[in-house]
Amino acid sequence: MIIGSQGMLGSAVLRALPHAESLDKKDIDITKRNRVLQKISSFRPDIIINCAAYTQVDKAEKERELCYEVNCKGARHLAEAAKKVGAILIHISTDYVFDGNEKDGYNEDAKTNPINFYGRTKADGEKEITKILDTYYIIRTSWLFGKGGKNFVDTIKEKCLRDKNLAIVDDQKGSPTYTEDLASFIGEVCKNMNNYPFGIYHITNKGTCTWLTFAKEIKKMIKAKCAIKKITSAELQAPAKRPSHSILRNNKAKPLRSWKDALKAYLEESS
């Protein structure tokens, strides 16, 4: 069963697992405990894949209650429901559970230390799951792009093709991840669980870059002529602080293809 099946990642997971039951926010409000328990009990799935999340990092600094309800309490309610029906929970988390101080990146067992409210709610959601369940997969990922949702690639592409001058930060480093590739991994886990011990996984496309490098690669691939200027995070003055190095090191699973190859595939598929 896929929760959040109409979002950017959830819709990709549904394409990878087309026969799965799927629920979106009109079908299930994960912030309401009793409704979650009732709904999951009525379906009795073997696996619950939670792609539902509050992901607006800057807005989260103001909409704290809503962000916490979805990302922390929602995760707890789904874990409780999974335990009740004997289901396995696959929960999607984020690189923003880390502070960004480790320049070489973070292993799966690294201590979380979020520096913005969104990251805190995701870290707290992870803790709730691990307290309730033994049969879980927490899949941390980063810098998602793909069809069916607002993302960095589409924004840069649109602005570049309108010949807008762009200012992009060059002091945040991470790994872009194509939703179709992440969804394929999730599908693989569902079909071959014996190959994947329960626990935390770090799954991104291979390689790292800054947002500036990412933007320049998009510009190059779409053959745009827009000017892209380098700025710092301090100059951008976003409401939420971002980690400077949120690189997720994958020590448990076969690496996905490179982010450049994934980007090329997405641009070709969406053109």
CATH, residue 122? 3.40.50.720
Query: Is residue 270 assigned to a domain?
Result: no
Give ∠ CA 73-77-82 in degrees, rounded to 5: 145
Q: What CA–CA distance (Å, rounded) separates 249 from 142?
A: 11
Query: Is residue 224 assigned to a domain?
Result: no
Q: What CA–CA distance (Å, rounded) separates 65 from 60?
A: 9
Largest CA distance in the chain: 56
Residue-wise pLDDT for 204-251, tens only, equals 999 999 999 999 999 999 999 999 999 999 999 999 999 999 999 999
Beta carbons of 167 and 160 less than 8 angstroms apart = no
Q: Which domain range does residue 107 map to?
A: 2-151+176-206+246-257
Q: What CA–CA distance (Å, rounded) separates 128 from 80?
A: 9
Residues of the chain with pLDDT below 70 are none
Tally the domains of the chain.
Answer: 1
* Model pLDDT, residue 164: 79
Q: Which two tokens stand for residue 118?
A: 């969104």
From the candidates 118, 136, 137, 178, give the one annotated as an active-site residue.
Answer: 118
* Model pLDDT, residue 221: 98
118 is annotated as an active-site residue: yes
Q: Which of 155, 203, 162, 156 is nearest to 180 (CA)?
A: 203
